[in-house]
Chains A and B, each alone.
Chain A
Amino acid sequence: MDTQLKRGLLDVCVLAAIKNEDSYGYRIIKDMQPYVSLSESTLYPILRRLETAGCLTVRSMEHNGRLRKYYHITPAGLDRIEEFRDDWQEIQAIYQFVTREEEHG
């Protein structure tokens, strides 16, 4: 898949993983597993990027005597998911057009 396209999609996937509830690294990867396989080393730059873009905030919380980082979605992050839903309508229309061409050919 086009790397630029995949990058954008993974950003939205990670935001979706923290949409309903704050989450942490390991759980984000586990939650995404059935749908997209994402390696730990790929997740890290995505989280940093989303944080810089203001799509999520990070806070450290005590868990079993150690610190764990929780990621919290911001309104900008929610907007990004909305944008993706709008884009998807367009992509679906394009997909239908492309596959229709194939059927005729």
Chain B
Amino acid sequence: MDKESYLARLREALYGLPEADIETSAQYYAELIEDRMEDGLGEAEAVAQLPSPEEAAQEILLDKPLAQIVAARVKPRRKLGAWEIILLVLGSPVWLPLLLTFGILVLTAYLLIWVVALVLWSVDLSAAVGAVGGLAGMLGGILQRNLSMELFATGAALAGAGLAILLFFASLWTTKASARLGRALLRSLKASIIGKEKAA
């Protein structure tokens, strides 16, 4: 493959991104090919050392925000004909709910990831509030010289504090894990959008 066809395939794989983005990417790969040729390699050899244009495009696309990838993927390659627009409008009762459902499913999956962390934080907060309440009860017990109330409240305060500290670390860990999982979900979603078009 020569430089021009490599760059043409790259541009094709990036179709739908803003023109300036495509140009910057093409310039980057053109420079890499030219630098290799300056190093003494032939044009075909220089191109062969690079990742395939599709692989290069995938890395570029994965780094873009999800909305931009979707916009790039649904951008029609030519102007739509009048009958195509009519079909799109007439078909909207079918594809619009489907699209919405898909979007809501993805959103739900994302929220579900965070629910565990949210619940843990809430329980943690309740335990902390309980500990403070226990402490107040303890003081009340001392003031009222009520030994059983004092002992009970002390126990409650200690249990609450212990639980709060323990749950704090559990919540922190879960939050971090959720963030990682969320990122992984987003990345695989992006990859599936990028990949689907390539297969078509």
* Residues of chain A at the chain B interface (Cβ within 8 Å): 4, 24-27, 39-42, 44-45, 48-49, 64, 66-69
Indicate if the CB atoms of A4 and B180 lie closer than 8 Å.
yes
- Chain B residues near A44 (CB-CB < 8 A): 25, 28, 56, 59-60
Indicate if the CB atoms of B35 and A40 lie closer than 8 Å.
no
Indicate if the CB atoms of A40 and B50 lie closer than 8 Å.
yes
Residue of B nearest to A68 (CB): B31
A-B contact pairs, 9 of them (CB 8 A): A24-B31, A24-B35, A25-B32, A26-B31, A26-B35, A41-B51, A44-B25, A45-B59, A64-B38
Residue of A nearest to B21 (CB): A48
User: 8 Å CB contacts to A: which residues of B10-34?
Assistant: 25, 27-29, 31-32, 34
A42 to B31, CA, bound (A): 16
Q: A96 CB to closest chain B CB, in angstroms? A: 23
Q: B51 CB to closest chain A CB, in angstroms? A: 4
Indicate if the CB atoms of B51 and A39 lie closer than 8 Å.
yes
- Chain A residues near B73 (CB-CB < 8 A): none
Residue of A nearest to B58 (CB): A41
Q: B113 CB to closest chain A CB, in angstroms? A: 16
- Asked if B55 is at the interface of the complex by the 8 Å CB criterion, the answer is yes
Q: A40-B29, A41-B51, A68-B31 are in contact. Are A26 and B59 (CB under 8 A)?
A: no
Residue of B nearest to A49 (CB): B63
Indicate if the CB atoms of A45 and B35 lie closer than 8 Å.
no
- Asked if B36 is at the interface of the complex by the 8 Å CB criterion, the answer is yes
Residue of B nearest to A48 (CB): B63
- Chain B residues near A69 (CB-CB < 8 A): 27-28, 31
Q: A63 CB to closest chain B CB, in angstroms? A: 9
B164-183, CB under 8 A of A: which get 1 and which 0?
00000000000000001001
A25 to B28, CA, bound (A): 8
Q: A40-B50, A45-B63 are in contact. Are A25 and B31 (CB under 8 A)?
A: yes
A25 to B183, CA, bound (A): 28
Indicate if the CB atoms of A40 and B32 lie closer than 8 Å.
yes
